[in-house]
Amino acid sequence: MAQQPSGLGLSELPLGVQIHKDPLTGQNLIQKGDLIFPPRKVWMKTFGCQMNYHDSERILSHLKELNFDQTEELEAADLVLFNTCAVRDLANQKFYSQLGEIKHAKKKKNGLVVGVGGCVAQTEGKELVEKYKHLDFAFGPDTIDMINDMVYRTYAGDHKFTINSWDRSENFSIETKITHGSPQAFVNIIKGCNKYCTYCIVPYTRGKERSRRKDEIVQDVKRLVEYQGIQEVMLLGQNVNSFGQENGETLAELIHDLDQINGLELLRYTTSHPYDVSDELIAIHGTAKKLAPHLHLPVQSGSGTVLQRMHREYTPEHYLGLLEKLRKVAPQIVISTDIIVGFVNETEEEFQDTLKLLDAAQFDFIYSYAYSERKKTRAAKMEDFLTDEIRMERLRYLQAYQLKIQEKIRASMVDQTFRVLIDGHGNMGGVKKYKGRTTCGRLIHFLPPEPEKDYQWHWADLKVTSASALSAQGVLVRDLGRRP
Ligand code: SAH
Ligand code: SF4
Ligand code: F3S
- To test the ligand 3 pocket, which listed residue (47, 85, 296) has its Cβ within 8 A of the most ligand atoms? 85
Nearest 5°: the CA angle 444, 446, 452 is 140
Confidence (pLDDT) at 3? 39
Q: HSE, CB side, 13 Å, CA atoms: give it for residue 361.
A: 33
**Would you say how long the chain is, in residues?**
484
C-beta separation of 444 from 470 below 8 A: no
Determine the average pLDDT of the residues in 429-448.
94
Ligand 1 atom at minimum distance from 379 CA: 22
Look at residue 14 in the predicted model and tell me its pLDDT: 66
Q: Is ligand 1 within 6 A of the CB of residue 88?
A: yes
Q: How confident is the model at residue 12 (pLDDT cuts 50, 70, 90)?
A: low
What is the predicted pLDDT for the residue at 11? 47
**Residue owning the nearest CA to atom 3 of ligand 3:** 49
- What Rg do the C-alpha atoms of the chain give, in angstroms? 24
With a 6 Å cutoff on the Cβ, whether 200 touches ligand 3 is no
Whether the per-residue pLDDT at 7 is higher than 80: the answer is no
What HEC string does the chain produce? CCCCCCCCCCCCCCCCEEEEECCCCCCEEEEECCEEECCEEEEEEECCCHHHHHHHHHHHHHHHCCCEEECCCHHHCCEEEEEECCCCHHHHHHHHHHHHHHHHHHHHCCCCEEEEEEHHHHHHHHHHHHHCCCCCEEECHHHHHHHHHHHHHHHCCCCCEEECCCCCCCCCCCCCCCCCCCCEEEEECEECCCCCCCCCCHHHHHCCCEECCHHHHHHHHHHHHHHCCCCEEEEECCCHHHCCHHHCCCHHHHHHHHCCCCCCCEEEEECCCHHHCCHHHHHHHHHCCCECCEEECCCECCCHHHHHHHCCCCCHHHHHHHHHHHHHHCCCCEEEEEEEECCCCCCHHHHHHHHHHHHHHCCCEEEEEECCCCCCCCHHHCCCCCCHHHHHHHHHHHHHHHHHHHHHHHHCCCCCEEEEEEEEEEEECCEEEEEEEECCCCEEEECCCCCCCCCCCCEEEEEEEEECCCEEEEEEEEEEECCC
Pairing label, strands 443-446, 471-481: parallel
Give the pocket of ligand 2 (CB within 6 Å): 193, 195-197, 200, 202-203, 238-239, 273
Atom of ligand 2 nearest to the CA of 196: 8
Q: What's the chain's average pLDDT?
A: 93
What's the average model confidence in pLDDT over 79-87? 97
Residue ranges and CATH numbers for the domains of the chain are 17-163 (3.40.50.12160), 177-292 (3.30.750.210), 295-409 (3.30.750.200), 417-481 (2.40.50.140)
Please count the other Cβ atoms lying within 10 Å of the Cβ belonging to residue 29.
15
pLDDT of residue 110: 86
Please state the three-class secondary structure of 27-70 as a single string.
Answer: CEEEEECCEEECCEEEEEEECCCHHHHHHHHHHHHHHHCCCEEE
- Provide the pLDDT confidence category of residue 8 given band limits of 50, 70 and 90: very low
Band of residue 381 on the pLDDT scale cut at 50, 70, 90: very high
Ligand 2, atom 1, lies closest to the CA of 200
The alpha carbon of 26 and the centre of ligand 3 are apart by a number of angstroms equal to 42
Per-residue pLDDT tens over the stretch 245-282: 999 999 999 999 999 999 999 999 999 999 999 999 99
Contact predicate 299/259, CB 8 Å: no
Q: What is the pLDDT of residue 9?
A: 45
Distance CA 272, CA 352 (A): 25
pLDDT score recorded for residue 17: 76
Ligand 3 atom with the shortest distance to the CA of 83? 6
pLDDT digits (tens, 9 = 90+) for 199-234: 999 999 999 999 999 999 999 999 999 999 999 999
* Ligand nearest to the Cα of 50, by number: 3
Q: Is the CB of 294 inside a 6 Å radius of any atom of ligand 1?
A: no
How do residues 174-191 score in pLDDT, each as one tens digit?
899 887 778 999 999 999
pLDDT for 2 equals: 36
- Rounded average pLDDT over 422-427: 92
CA 473 to CA 435: how far, in whole Å? 9
For residue 77, how far is its CA from the centre of ligand 3 (angstroms)? 25
CA–CA dist 24, 71 (Å, integer):
24
Number of C-beta neighbours around residue 227 at 10 A? 9
- Of the CA atoms within 13 Å of residue 83, those in its CB half-sphere come to 24
- What tens digit of pLDDT does each residue of 151-175 get? 999 999 998 999 999 988 878 888 9
Measured CA to CA, the distance from residue 284 to residue 291 in angstroms comes to: 8
Q: Looking at the predicted structure, is the pLDDT value of residue 312 above 70?
A: yes
Q: What is the pLDDT of residue 4?
A: 41
**What pLDDT digit, counting tens, does each position of 121-154 carry?**
999 999 999 999 999 999 999 999 999 999 999 9
At 417, give phi and psi (nearest 5°).
Answer: -105, 135
pLDDT score recorded for residue 250? 97
Residues 6+ apart with CB under 8 A from 387: none
Minimum-distance ligand 3 atom for the alpha carbon of 51: 3
- Please tell me the predicted confidence (pLDDT) of residue 92: 87
Q: What's the CA gap between 32 and 34, in Å, rounded?
A: 6
Per-residue pLDDT, averaged over 73-86, amounts to 96
pLDDT in tens, 16-71: 778 888 888 888 889 988 899 999 999 999 999 999 999 999 999 999 999 999 99
Query: What pLDDT score was predicted for residue 263?
Result: 95
Whether 270 lines ligand 1, by a CB cut-off of 6 Å, is: no
Q: How many CA atoms lie within 13 A of 397 on its CB side?
A: 13
Asked if residue 118 lies in contact with residue 141, where contact means CB atoms within 8 angstroms, the answer is: yes
Specify the pLDDT at position 173.
Answer: 86
Q: What is the pTM of this model?
A: 0.93
359-373 pLDDT per residue, tens: 999 999 999 999 999
What's residue 367's pLDDT?
A: 97
Ligand 2 centroid vs 242 CA: distance in angstroms? 12
Q: Write b or e for each residue in 59-71: b if 16 or more Cβ atoms lie within 10 A of its Cβ, otherwise e.
A: bbbbbbbbbbeeb
Output the CA torsion sign for 351, 353, 356, 362.
negative
Mean pLDDT calculated for residue range 301-324: 98
- In this structure, which long-range contacts are made by residues 311-318, counting pairs with CB atoms below 8 Å and at least 24 apart in sequence? 311/195, 311/196, 311/197, 311/198, 311/378, 312/197, 312/274, 312/275, 313/195, 313/275, 314/274, 314/275, 316/353, 316/357, 318/274
